[in-house]
Each structure stands twice: as C-alpha cells, then as structure tokens.
Amino acid sequence: MTNVLIVAEQSNGSLKKSSLNAVGAGQLLAARTGGQLHVALLGQGVGGAPAQLAALGVTVHVAEHAALAHGLAEAAAPVVAALARAVGAGYVGGAATSGGKDLLPRAAALLEAAMATEVLAFAGDGAQVLFRRPMWAGNVVADVELATAVKVFTIRPTEFAPAAPAAAPGEVKAVAASVDAAGLKTRFVSFEEVKSTRPELTEARVVVSGGRGTKGDFKPIEALADVLGAAVGASRAAVDAGWVPNDWQVGQTGKVVAPELYVAAGISGAIQHLAGMKGSKVIVAVNKDPEAPVFAVADYGLVGDLFKVLPELTEKVKAGK
C-alpha cells in the first residue's frame, strides 16, 4: 500500500482551481495503489482553502508559517518532504503551475525521488504506474517509469477532471512546520500581479490569441475577447516584442490551454505554440497566409486580414446576442 500526497496551492485564502485537478489525479493514483490520499496546503493566512479541500473528502494537512507566505521553494520543500515521510507517501504530486514546477523538483531531491513533469495520464497496470508525459514540445508522448522508492510528478491540469465534492468532508490537521526562517538564503522582494477583469487564461471557456500579425495592436483581439467573455492569449513573438504581458504566452514554455474555443489570429502555428493549444475543442485560425501551418490544426480556417476579419466577427457576435 502506497499513500499519495498532493500539494495544493492557494492564493489570498482561496484554493487554486488547478489544485482540484491535482487532487483528482491523486484520487486516480490512490485507487490504483490502494493507498490513502493526503493533501498538503502551505502558506500564511490560508483562509477558506482548507475547508474547500476537506469538502473533497480528503485529509488536509495545513502548514502555516510566516516564512511560507510567498511560496519560496527553499522554505517549502523541506516541509513537503517531511510531510511526505510522515504520511508514508510513495507518490508526491501537484499541478504543473509555475509554483509546482519550482517547488516539487526541489522537494523530490530531498526525497531522493525521480520526477515526471506535466503528466497527461497514468499508464501501466494496477500499482505499476507509468507516467504519460509530453516531450519535444509535445511532438512525442512518452510512458515513463520512475525507478525510485518515492515518485514525484506534476500534472497538466487540463488533462485531469477536478475532484468532486464528497458526501463526508475530510479531516483538517495542522502541521507544525519547522522552518528555519533566519537561515533562508532566498528572500521575497515583491510580486507584481497582472490585473485583469478577464477570466484566467487556463480556465476560460474561450481564448482569443494574437501573434506577430497584430504588429503590436491587440485592440481587435481584445474587442473580440470582450464580447465573448474570453481570455486573451499570445504567441511568443508578441510577448517577446513587449506588446503584451509574459503571462499571456501560450505554448511549450507558456500556458497550456484547452478551452472550448481557441481563436488564433496572426499566429503562424509553430510547433511550440501548438503545444499549448492543440487540446482545445474547436480551433479557429485567421491568417493572411493560406499556407500558414496553423491551418492544419484549425477546425475552421479563414484566410484574411485579422484587422478586417476580427471586427466583423465581433459585430456578428454582438448582433447575435
């Protein structure tokens, strides 16, 4: 019997949605191994997040400490490792957020564990779990075995169903986190949030993205996004040019999205961009170049100038409401 520990994340006292997907993945693993599922929540002022987790029917271990307030990996990794040992976890995982990718490999090293990043599914048989994950910008899908006693992973949130509320809530336990705050070599300075009234990119039902073809003018992209209640995304070229925030990049090294509708305008469709949006239900591409590779993955391609096409589409949507 091997227990499972999922590291959840909160911000300002509410649970991150991707943590629900991570707990969902943890449930699948616990069912495979016959073990128990434990969830860790670290921070300072975690608000209603522990209750949100307990509602899923899992045992929640809450570690609160001033030094854990900003999610510094150096401070959090030993706490995660100690908890993993205490609950007898053979699997330790979380969502493939920037926080998860920063923290979990550091915790894995302390646990002498090997790790799989951006897991898409659990393959293999029964308790013999193989981790299915993308390689080479999603050109390849690999089934990977982790040959260490403890196995660590991050899951791609779009690939796992969120955990559902349970009939009976789980227990919430306080963990005495021993953090040597004075000995920390990493200091938090500041966080500048990209404030937006639009939905979060990875959670939106519709995403409208722009690329180099916008020449820096994202107005048509944003106007369409706003009538659709959509999030705005971008290609690397648009972000590198400084036209839009880093946080908008979709792709191999940006966000991975899987909305019901993804509109790519003025984006050529490089493999690294496709890696972040191929999982969308319906893909629309608007591009001047009929040979643009993005058309090969688009359900509906429209060859044309985005500065003409997007405003027209925006008007249509408005009229149809």
Partner 1 sequence: MALKILVTAKRVEDPESKIRVKPDGSGIVTDGVNYKLNPFDEIAIEEALRLKEAHGGEVVVVSIGGDKSQTEIRAALAMGADRGILLRHEGPLDPVVVSALLAKLVEQEKPDLVLLGKQSIDDDQNQAGQYLAARLGQAQGTFASKHESLESEAEQKRQPGLKLAADGQRLTVVREVDGGVETLDLALPAVVTVDLRLNKPRFASLPGIMKAKKKELKDVPAASLGVDLTPRVLVRRLAEPPKRQGGLKVADVEELYKKLHEGAKVL
Ligand X SMILES: Cc1cc2nc3c(=O)[nH]c(=O)nc-3n(C[C@H](O)[C@H](O)[C@H](O)COP(=O)(O)OP(=O)(O)OC[C@H]3O[C@@H](n4cnc5c(N)ncnc54)[C@H](O)[C@@H]3O)c2cc1C
User: 37-66: which residues touch ligand X (CB under 6 A)?
Assistant: none
H-helix or E-strand spanning residue 8 = strand 3-8
Separation between Cα atoms, residue 139 and residue 283, nearest integer Å: 18
Nearest approach, Cβ of 198 to ligand X (angstroms)?
Answer: 19
Residue 147 near which of partner 1, ligand X, none (CB within 5-8 Å, type-dependent):
partner 1
Give yes or no for a contact between 129 and 35, defined as CB atoms under 8 angstroms apart: no
Report DSSP state, residue 181: G
Which residue's entry shows tokens 């249509």?
A: 316
Binding residues for ligand X restricted to 264-283, rule: CB under 6 A: 266-268, 270, 272-273, 276
253 binds ligand X, rule: CB under 6 A: yes
Nearest approach, Cβ of 173 to partner 1 (angstroms)?
Answer: 26
Number of residues located near ligand X, criterion CB under 6 A: 28
Nearest approach, Cβ of 215 to ligand X (angstroms)?
Answer: 7
305 binds ligand X, rule: CB under 6 A: yes
Out of 143, 289, 299, 315, which residue is the one contacting ligand X (CB under 6 A)?
289
Residue 292 near which of partner 1, ligand X, none (CB within 5-8 Å, type-dependent):
ligand X
- Sorted by sequence, the CB contacts under 8 Å of residue 115 that are 6+ apart come out as 104, 105, 108, 146, 151, 152, 153, 154
Task: Read off φ and ψ for residue 64, nearest 5 degrees.
Answer: -110, 135
Residue 186 near which of ligand X, partner 1, none (CB within 5-8 Å, type-dependent):
partner 1
Considering only CA atoms, which of 28, 246, 279 is closest in space to residue 134? Answer: 279
212 binds ligand X, rule: CB under 6 A: yes
Nearest approach, Cβ of 178 to partner 1 (angstroms)?
Answer: 16
Residue 57 near which of partner 1, ligand X, none (CB within 5-8 Å, type-dependent):
none
Residue 136 near which of partner 1, ligand X, none (CB within 5-8 Å, type-dependent):
partner 1
Binding residues for ligand X restricted to 170-209, rule: CB under 6 A: none
Which range, of 16-24, 53-61, 139-147, 211-219, touches ligand X by CB under 6 A?
Answer: 211-219
Separation between Cα atoms, residue 236 and residue 244, nearest integer Å: 10
Which range, of 15-23, 66-74, 189-197, 287-295, touches ligand X by CB under 6 A?
Answer: 287-295
252 binds ligand X, rule: CB under 6 A: yes
Residue 208 near which of ligand X, partner 1, none (CB within 5-8 Å, type-dependent):
none
- Tokens representing 263 are 């509109």
Three-class SS of residue 33? helix
The Cβ of residue 189 has, within 10 Å, a number of other Cβ atoms equal to 5
Could you write out the DSSP letters of every residue in 120-137?
-EEEEETTEEEEEEEEGG
220 binds ligand X, rule: CB under 6 A: no
The Cβ of residue 11 has, within 10 Å, a number of other Cβ atoms equal to 15
Binding residues for ligand X restricted to 103-132, rule: CB under 6 A: none
Residue 295 near which of ligand X, partner 1, none (CB within 5-8 Å, type-dependent):
partner 1
Packing angle, helices 219-228 and 306-320, rounded to 10: 20
Give yes or no for a contact between 220 and 305, defined as CB atoms under 8 angstroms apart: no
Nearest approach, Cβ of 275 to ligand X (angstroms)?
Answer: 7
312 binds ligand X, rule: CB under 6 A: no
Give yes or no for a contact between 29 and 92, defined as CB atoms under 8 angstroms apart: no
Three-class SS of residue 152? strand
Q: Footprint of ligand X on this chain (CB under 6 A)?
A: 211-213, 235-238, 249-254, 266-268, 270, 272-273, 276, 286-289, 292, 305-307
